[in-house]
Chains A and B, each alone.
Chain A
Amino acid sequence: MKSLNSVRSVCLYLLALGSIGWLATANASEAETIEKLDKLVARGFLPHYQLSTVDSEGVRSYRAKAYVDGLVNITKPQPESLFAMLSLSKPFTNLLALRMVDLGLVKLEDPIEKYLPQLADVKVSDIVSSVSVPSNRKITVSDLLLHTAGFAQNTELMGLGPIAERYRKNDIFGLHCLYGKEQQSLEAIIDKLAALPLQTAPGAAFKYSIATDVLAALLQVVANKPFEKLIAEELFLPIGMNSTAFSVANDKRDDLLPLYQPLVKTYPVPGDYQRYQPLSIFEKKNAKVGEQPGCISAGTGLVSSVEDMQIFLQFLLNDMRLENGERYLSGVLLKSFLSHQLSSDLGASPLSRSLPKTKKDGLSYGLAIHLQDGGVLTDPSTYDYLYWSGFSGSGFWFNADKSIGGIFVSQLFNSDQFLLPGIAENLGH
């Protein structure tokens, strides 16, 4: 039996989450961490959580905990329960893109207008003069993988600024994609996007954005196949992620976990209480992500299970080897998914202006990179772990050298704003 460096693993996972990462102390054992997480559930901060660690050979641990007998009834999640990935969706589209690069179907340096001609003349918003100016270089496929294209993020899903607000007004990759009565095609959304300026010039900055959705629209043109079909056939099927998809069949909808949103009392409540309520931001009450997507959003729309994520993590820990022994990506591209790819011109903390909690983290062609103390982004041997996380408090991390990875799932929308302060007080840290 492998010696389990559990302390390390738990710390890694917590750091990856960012929002509750500070919970981990250097000396916390896995048991202590679980105790803290259980307390978060028992005291009403989290409706439920699932935590699982894996190594290259299989699942090492799995734990699920849910609030019991509350006013808001919480179903205890199972490994096969389906959860809304939200931003955890993003790395999968990037991985598929790299596979298609590997197969010679598309090049990273291709200008995107080659496939999406609508975006050929897109302008850059000039904040100073408030007019839009032609961009000085073309957006490439690589820009889409790295969020350096200059697109914004819809304000309904954390975006900020005038361009992001125009995405909202025009239904460009916002809440409507997660649940919508009317279907919008990716082409139709890209057409609307083409009419709006970029937030920043291509290559000028990392801006967390809808770039992943644009990438999906591009890949479906390259493959001449609807994106949801493409990713199912070319990524999820070969890896064996059988539950991961954009929409869930009728007979599987009972497995869908609902999302929650924070409940803030304006008066002091002396004891503990469930500090969340069912999410009520969709057109239909109690709508769940995966029931009726209004568009195929590669950036936020996937539904998956812990079981599938365990399979995915093992795939990553085994150098992306498939069951038939083939490697999903060849050497150079595999490496590009696992090492920093942003230009050094973007500074020592290139993600932090857009994602403040990332501090000095880097970015590969699909994942964020957390460094060891004193580590540098140019030297992968100094990486601590790679990770990604989503807006509902879920995240995964792994370290291939140490053969350890983990997935944490919760379904509390907008968790970072509200979880932190209450936790700090109530756990008496």
Chain B
Amino acid sequence: MKVKFYGFLSILTMLSASAMAFEFKSSTPEKSGFDGNQLNEIKAKFDELYFDGRIPNYAVGVYTPDSLVYSAANGQIGVGGGEAVNLDTIYWLASMTKPIVSTAIIKLVEEGKLSLDDKLSKFFPEFADMLVAPGGSYDTTLQSAKSEITLRHLISHTSGLTYWTTVTGVGDVAEQYDELGVMQCSVEGRQSLDSDVRFLAQLPLIAHPGESWNYSLSTDVLGAIIEQVTGKRLGVYLNEIIFQPLNMKNTFFEVPKDRLASTSQIYTTATAAQLATIDVESSIDWKIIPSPYDAIRTRIPNCDSGGGGLFASVNDYAKYLAMIANGGELDGVRILSEDSMTLHLQDQTTKMLPEAFRRGFGDDASSYMKFAAGFGRKMVVNKEDNSESVDYFFWGGAANTFFWVDVDNGTIGVFATQLAPSLYNFSNTIEEIVDQAQIK
């Protein structure tokens, strides 16, 4: 009787699991209100790069919150061999890890465990009195930080932290990040997120908290806060609250050995100094060579980098974005409340003028860039009444992946190849193609 009872339970569990196992419905552009011919420009664009040997492969999907509307892919996981890539191929997300970690922070805010106004020093007292080297330069006198770093600063890259020089770090401070292996989790004595973050506090900031937008290790720091508050390793926590509920089976910080055959290798652009190997078997004249980053595919991470450690498939990432586009809930599974979603997508940089974005986005985009909690927020100005509205939310990764979400019409785009540093971040171009293709 007991045995039967347990059997019955497990069937129930299976039933409920399958009810929760979300998958996108297969649709066609026309059924979903798009002109398929116009969407084919996406394939043409990426095929051109692929057949010219500039990217090793690519997979791209356009989605609505419940359906796959359009997809294209080409190439194999490696130049000259391996599985053909598709929407389930595993790619290194790099900085596309950041929005997911930001969602986890918002979840903890919703549960009352955190507030965006919390000071970083509440979790890591070492950050209470920070010095600032303006512009990251050690040629100037160091100043005392005018205010403390808050979680809001961390989630919107306005903390004054910077990055390594390889990831747009600024000035002498960034060079010191490089030299000291800051937040690499591989230096002896700093092999946990916690010890790494405490070490980071010893270096000056490059700007006063809240004054300017500087891409940074802030999201890695948020990861350490999540570990402290939940008592769980970042990967374990994200798995519990996001990956499992959304049926994201191909998302992890460490690629399981049996999935390596489905994981794209990582390349970099060849130069005259580092020639591509001529592959006589291939009809493609490859202009890429294996990247030093490729080692991370097979590495067992000492800690989980909230700023760039995740791997995922295009389809998995789209599930996460479908939840975002759908107001925090997907197929009956609610991840965030509506209020939390409002907070998540709100401009967290309201007090900042375009000048504050100039270093991060250049002269042009600084005029319409804003930053939500973990997402870039591209604004458009309505010419009729001069009102501003959100065009789309977006971000990308260092190995040339990118995505956007248009929360107004619910369209989602995810693109992946593996080229580091990334040279083809056409997310704006692709978003415009999808926008144009929408049958009005």
Contacts and interface: CB of A to CB of B under 8 A. Distances in A.
B402 A158 contact: no
Contacts of B376: 267-268
Interface of A: 44, 69-71, 153, 155, 158-160, 263-274, 285, 353, 355-357, 414, 416-418, 421-422, 425
Contacts of A418: 269, 423
Interface in B271-304: 271-275
Q: Is the interface of B mostly helix, strand, loop or mixed?
A: mixed
B361 A268 contact: no
Interface stretch (B16-24, B101-109, B392-400): B392-400
Contacts of B361: 269-271, 273
B402 A271 contact: no
B168 A414 contact: no
Contacts of A425: 424, 426, 429
Contacts of A417: 269, 271
B398 A266 contact: yes
Given A264-B421, A266-B95, A266-B167, A271 B397 contact: no
Contacts, number: 100
12 contacts: A44-B362, A158-B272, A266-B215, A266-B396, A269-B361, A271-B428, A274-B362, A353-B275, A356-B275, A414-B271, A421-B49, A425-B429
Given A71-B359, A266-B167, A271 B365 contact: yes
A421 B419 CA distance: 12
Nearest to A422: B423
A95 to B, nearest CB: 24
Contact of B273 (A159, A267, A357): A159
B94 interface: yes
Given A158-B273, A270-B428, A425-B426, 13 more contacts: A71-B359, A71-B363, A155-B273, A158-B271, A265-B425, A266-B215, A268-B396, A268-B427, A269-B425, A273-B362, A273-B364, A285-B139, A422-B423
Interface string B88-129: 000000110000000000000000000000000000000000
Contacts of A356: 272, 275
Q: Interface centre among B274, B378, B424, B425, by most A CB within 10 Å?
A: B425
Contacts of A271: 361-362, 364-365, 368, 428
Q: Is the interface of A mostly helix, strand, loop or mixed?
A: loop
Contacts of A416: 271-272
Nearest to B394: A268
A160 B428 contact: no
A153 B273 CA distance: 9
B358 interface: yes
A410 to B, nearest CB: 17
A270 B365 contact: yes
Contacts of A422: 423
Q: Interface centre among B168, B363, B422, B429, by most A CB within 10 Å?
A: B363
A269 B365 contact: yes
Nearest to A271: B364
Q: In the complex, which range does the number of interface residues on chain B fall in?
A: 35 or more
A70 B271 CA distance: 28
A285 B175 CA distance: 12
Given A160-B275, A416-B272, A421-B54, A269 B423 contact: no
A409 B178 CA distance: 33
Nearest to B404: A268
Interface string B355-392: 00011011111001100000010100000000000000
Contacts of B402: 268
Contacts of B398: 266
A10 B106 CA distance: 57
Interface string B252-286: 00000000000000000101111100000000000
Given A417-B269, A421-B424, A425-B429, A268 B395 contact: yes
B273 A160 contact: yes
Interface string B400-421: 0010000000000000000001
Q: Interface centre among A273, A357, A418, A422, by most B CB within 10 Å?
A: A273
Nearest to A272: B364
Q: Interface centre among A271, A355, A357, by most B CB within 10 Å?
A: A271
A43 to B, nearest CB: 9
Nearest to B420: A266
B203 to A, nearest CB: 19
A310 to B, nearest CB: 28
A272 B362 contact: yes
B363 A355 contact: no
A232 to B, nearest CB: 30
A266 B274 contact: no
A425 B427 CA distance: 12
Given A268-B428, A269-B365, A273-B361, A160 B274 contact: yes
A271 B94 CA distance: 22
B95 A69 contact: no
Nearest to A270: B428
Interface in B10-57: 49, 54
Q: Interface centre among A265, A353, A414, by most B CB within 10 Å?
A: A265
B362 A266 contact: no
A71 B369 CA distance: 16
A279 B274 CA distance: 20
A273 B423 contact: no
Nearest to B369: A270
Nearest to A263: B168
Contacts of A160: 273-275
A160 B428 CA distance: 37
Top 8 nearest A-B pairs (CB, nearest first) are A273-B362, A271-B364, A268-B425, A158-B273, A266-B398, A271-B365, A264-B421, A268-B396
A271 B364 CA distance: 6
A414 B273 CA distance: 10
Contacts of B397: 266-267
B365 A267 contact: no
Given A271-B362, A274-B362, A416-B272, A266 B423 contact: no
B379 to A, nearest CB: 10
A268 B432 CA distance: 14
B359 A266 contact: no
Contact of B363 (A70, A265, A285): A70
A111 B162 CA distance: 55
A422 to B, nearest CB: 7
Contacts of A357: 272
Nearest to B362: A273
A274 B421 contact: no
A382 to B, nearest CB: 26
Contacts of B429: 425
Q: Interface centre among A267, A269, A271, A272, by most B CB within 10 Å?
A: A267
